[in-house]
Amino acid sequence: MYSLVTVKDVVRIPPSQFGNPIEKVALEHLRQKYEGVLDREIGFILAVVEIDDVGIGRLLPGDGATYHEIVYKVIAFKPLKMEVIEGEVVEIVDFGIFIKLGPLDGLCHMSQICDDFISYDHKRSVMVGKKTGRIVQEGDLVRARIATISLDTGSRTGKLGLTMRQPFLGKLEWIEEEIKKLTEEPEEVADDEGKSM
């Protein structure tokens, strides 16, 4: 889920940048430090968009820089457990598929792709269902549910575990087939004497 989040932090302004507009300098420092970083509380920080407030600078002994408490806004992507997402299959490996979900990738283990025995076809680099013959390959659009989340603060990646083994999840073509089956008119059933009911 994407959101606009208000954050508070302290920014160090070195003496070499005194005389420049403080908001501009602070925004540059914040963008360098936080854009593209994953935070457990906020999520994946896509952009620092604006500064709301700059506090009065404080000095520390032995350091010529000023330290300012800054209140600013970021655009972040934070996946939520049980959230239903749509994404593109970007990689297929022998144990599952990786799905691009905005700035992060999630893993759908082969046991969680569908209610069929799935095997990896090394020659074609696809996942194939044994009974259904359904194929998942790179570039396919899929709908999945986030089952597990592991976000490490300060890194640029997180681990998302996905499942597609629920109704109306999976490859978008499969979902369309399911909906079509549900919306088709049932055929009339004849009784023993040949009369329709």
The 3-class SS string of 41-100 reads CCEEEEEEEEEEEECCCEEECCEEEEEEEEEEEEEEECCCCCCEEEEEEEEEECCEEEEE
In which residue are the tokens 């990896």 written?
A: 120
12-58, pLDDT tens digit by residue?
Answer: 999 999 999 999 999 999 999 999 888 888 989 999 999 999 999 99
Nearest to 11 by CA among 62, 72, 61, 88: 72
- Check residue 42 and give left, alpha or beta (phi > 0: left; psi -120 to 50: alpha): alpha
Instruction: Please state, in angstroms and as integers, the Cα–Cα distance from residue 109 to each residue in 95, 124, 188, 193, following that order.
Output: 6, 18, 42, 52
More confidently predicted of 141 and 195: 141
Virtual torsion, Cα 104, 110, 111, 112, nearest 10 deg: 40
Rounded CA separation 96/82 (Å): 19
DSSP one-letter string for 118-137: EEEETTTTEEEETTT--EE-
Instruction: In whole angstroms, give the CA distance from residue 2 to residue 74.
Output: 10
Domain residue spans of the chain: 2-77, 84-182
Using DSSP's 3-state secondary structure scheme, residue 22 falls into helix
Give me the mean pLDDT over the 161-180 stretch: 92
* Run of H or E residues at 145: strand 141-151
Confidence of residue 1 (pLDDT cuts 50, 70, 90): confident
pLDDT score at 192: 59
Distance CA 54, CA 84 (A): 38
**Residue 32 three-state SS:** helix
Is the pLDDT at 166 greater than 80? The verdict is yes
CATH number of 2-77: 3.30.1490.120
pLDDT level of residue 188 (50, 70, 90 thresholds): low
% of the chain exceeding 70 in pLDDT:
90
The residue type at 35: E
What integer pLDDT is reported at residue 41 of this predicted model? Answer: 87
152 or 162, higher pLDDT: 162
pLDDT at 68 (0 to 100): 95
Q: Is the CATH code 2.30.140.10 the one for domain 84-182?
A: no
